[in-house]
Amino acid sequence: MASTTASPARWYTVVPTALGQLTLVRDADALLGLYYPHHWYKPNPATFGPRSHEGFSGVIGQLCEYFTGRRQTFDLALALVGSTFQCRVWNLVAQVPYGATVTYGALAATLGGDVTAQQVGAAVGRNPLCILVPCHRVVGADGKLTGYAGGVGRKRHLLDLEQACRPASVPTQEALLLDLWSMPGSAVS
């Protein structure tokens, strides 16, 4: 009798970086999570499946390039799993360019309706794909670094890296907001 072994639905690996051990979680189709040690809202590790290095070489390579200033965007299959509102916020965050920042309030205004900066902040804080969906680029109204799932020190590190390596033509926050407002699903489109 032949026996077949099903592939796990998801699996994970742990990668050492200057920001600590990053836990990467994926399934057969896409990356599902990137978590720091002591990450806010980190799912129960038992849900990550078995540990395996299979399928992570692309993301590891791109993260290495990012951390050394040689990559500004990621070309990876990502699966954002959350509420409809969270996914709307995360999709806006994904549009914030390398080296730029945007405020929670500006994202709330882009979403329209009665959305508050605090609601946006709650969604940003639950981003399961930190760095890859660059929630570190979202700041307080006065540019102050507010909470970050990996800690404000890591947020500062990522912003400093991007400032040191950013291209000469990073859009102003005003130009960025005009771009975000013109996106499908925004308050004015």
Single-letter amino acid code for the residue at 122: A
Spatial separation of the C-alpha atoms in residues 14 and 143, rounded to whole Å: 32
DSSP 7: P
- Please, where are the H alpha helices in 28-150? 57-67, 84-93, 104-111, 117-125
Active-site positions read 135
Asked if 56 contacts 13 with a C-beta cutoff of 8 angstroms, the reply is: yes
Place of tokens 């999570």: 33
